[in-house]
Structure 1
Amino acid sequence: MSVIAQENVRGESVFKDISADDEEWQPTEIESLCMNCYQNGTTRLLLTRIPFFKEIIVSSFNCANCAWSNTEIQSAGRIQEQGVCYTLRVRRKQDLNREVVKADSATTRIPELDFEIPPFTQKGSLSTVEGLLDRAVAGLEQDQPIRRATDPEVAEKIDGFIQKLRKLKEVEGEFTLVIEDPSGNSFVENPVAPQRDEALSVVHFKRTVQQDRQLGIKADEDQDEESEGNDLDTMRNEVLVFNTNCPECNAPASTNMKLVQIPHFKEVIIMATNCDSCGHRTNEVKSGGATEELGTKTTLRVTDPSDMTRDVLKSETCSVIIPELEFELGMAALGGKFTTLEGLLKDIKDLIVSKNPFVCGDSSTTDRVQKLTEFGEKIEKIIAGKMDVHVILDDPAGNSYLQNVYAPEPDPEMTVEKYTRSFEQNEELGLNDMKTEGYEEEN
């Protein structure tokens, strides 16, 4: 049986990076009781470090008597200050090979199948995306023989769902894997680290009191008695700062968050991230409320340079249309923004012209460059008040806003139209349960 050498404990770290080439680094073997046949088996412990993540302990038990085996992982560190949520868009088969650390406190979801594995129902595991799918299939198949005997109808439905899970491994279409862990000790591999992974988003969040209790963290009695109103007052009066990672270089950075009340509209959350390492800056705005019952289409007739100073709140779900330029910017193209009309037009120009990779280099053509240059010149004319246009903000979520400078009186240059969302728009917003009557009758 191998042991951890004392010089390793007192000298270099006992946690080493995962490597198949290091033959000297062997797991520690411990004789232990098998919980299946109650005879002695062997537990192997490996203390290792996952690149760009942290140290973990991998344990694997095997019983030579009954052939029962079990593998799980435990974090070698403490519970993190914030929880973490990984959202991975699986687009190709290579994504199935990404390493995944799933702590036992993590919730695993596949929204496309309405599938969820609740926290503390599985032991922690070190696997891949494909391994998670296989483990989910094995868990569902475990009691199928009993179900087929006692409840054939339920067993048949579960068989159909198992086939859907297995078909995900063929990656015929995109699907989403969400791992939300309040302990902050789960992880999904970024194969291009430290560069940004376009298919993977990482969000850190503050745990609720209930999540602290689930993790065994005793909350102060005073905190339990605090009202939600006090929390909201704190957010309104203070700029909150929390740690995150830069979306460009993945270096530690800080994000400032402020809850702001927009007159004659609603509360919004403004977030700004500055990275000291690479200088990257991002500004993002989120609606402080839920999705509205009706979508909103706001049309402004721009006739004067003073219109450029109007405040604009463009949510992630809002499209921007300028009919005179035959231009439409789809939702999420610029993300959520709280700016002025001039700032929005400049951002559109930067996105379409200045930051367009096809304007320069071998991929550029004279015709394409000329068209983009003319588009940029027209945007500058609009900003200077030399060209009258209509600017339309079409937001099916109803969470975008364009300032009415005549408020509370009606604005003669602006119209606001409320409309019922289509089924396709509800799908885009993730409101799958909000079906239109026409769709239900047709199907």
Structure 2
Amino acid sequence: MSVIEEEAVRGGKGVFREICSEDEELQPTEIESLCMNCYQNGSTRMLLTKIPFFKEIIISSFTCPHCCWSNTEIQSAGRIQDQGITYTLKVRSKQDMNREVVKADSATVRIPELDFEIPAFTQKGSLSTIEGLIGRTVAGLEQDQPTRKATAPEVAAKIDEFMERLQKLKDVKSEFTLVIDDPSGNSFVENPFAPQKDDALTVAHYKRTPQQDAQLGVKSDEKDEEKPGNDIVSMRNEVLVFNTNCPECNAPASTNMKLVQIPHFKEVIIMATNCDSCGHRTNEVKSGGATEELGTRITLRLTDPSDMTRDLLKSETCCILIPELEFELGMAALGGKFTTLEGLLKDIRELIVSKNPFTCGDSSTPERTEKLEIFGEKIDKIIAGEMEGHIILDDPAGNSYLQNIYAPDPDPEMTIEKYQRTFEQNEDLGLNDMRTEGYQEEAKDS
């Protein structure tokens, strides 16, 4: 139980209480927080309250005394509603500009008369008035105006003109329409005549589309879920996004995952992580299938620079050999990759020459550095087509792939061999101790 909930329970009242000037116990809870602007300690004030004729919300406000950065945000304290909601308000007077508005981060705001729209998930949730909503929009447009005036004067002039039209809306010299469309159903526009009907405000509920369900992270229709293979089909058509931490700076980041079908091969899972804090980027490929019964050895004879454009899938269990350079790269290096042959050779060059710890600092010797530079020059010659050679992909798990540009006909420059794994290879893959048959019968006997 949180600190706020404990205080509410001890007071004998609910966690969420309506804002009232006579309620002396209704005070925000202050929590020390890290400022993401200057990385000093600031304070966050949180208040759990109710909006009359609506629902419970959480209001949070952060301020930093060091850099004076501040941020306000609201979050719905309830669940995502069964239906989406659309509010259509005819703004006819200045009194309408004072109506309270709860805009969830999933809501889209439109003003048809100006052909203006604030897309969903582009702003944090906010508790404001209609005037404040327009003012926040103007402030957001003004933020980058000095840069635009220096780089794109014509665009800056058009934005200035549009901001003037938005500012004129505050005077309500003519009637305009405000539309708030929220698939989550957690946005709200005040009705000052409640519980009576408001002639200027129209509220409509609707059923969400599968695309809106996916954006909100909720399940689709149960009938669709019962269809066999529906999950796999949806994964093929969507990019899944989940939260993680950056491996470099440990800041919150997002990882994108996509299931991709490689022609004449199998399905693979491509994952990419981007960190907005430090700019670190990683990408990784996982096989979407099981370990094959036989290992695979792919040998390609490099005869033309166009070979560098072949698509290549290197699994985590794949070894790479270049006999002409007496080079072998173990299965643990570079990880899984889906790239071109040129991209793989550049990654090898960077790993061996640029990122090699034995070429830096006290570990470096002139002889070793010279040998590695010569190796890098040979890799560059192979990429440029100035040097012929062979590249071998040896994957005991059978999950690596090299594009056959003559498919479905055989490639005269490429050979694919299937072979039985050795005991040591099965041990490396963890297959010797893996049992998939007979364990249930032994459990019954015991």
Please report the TM-score for the alignment, with normalisation by the length of structure 1: 0.49
From the CA coordinates, give the structure whose radius of gyration is larger: 2
Please report the TM-score for the alignment, with normalisation by the length of structure 2: 0.49
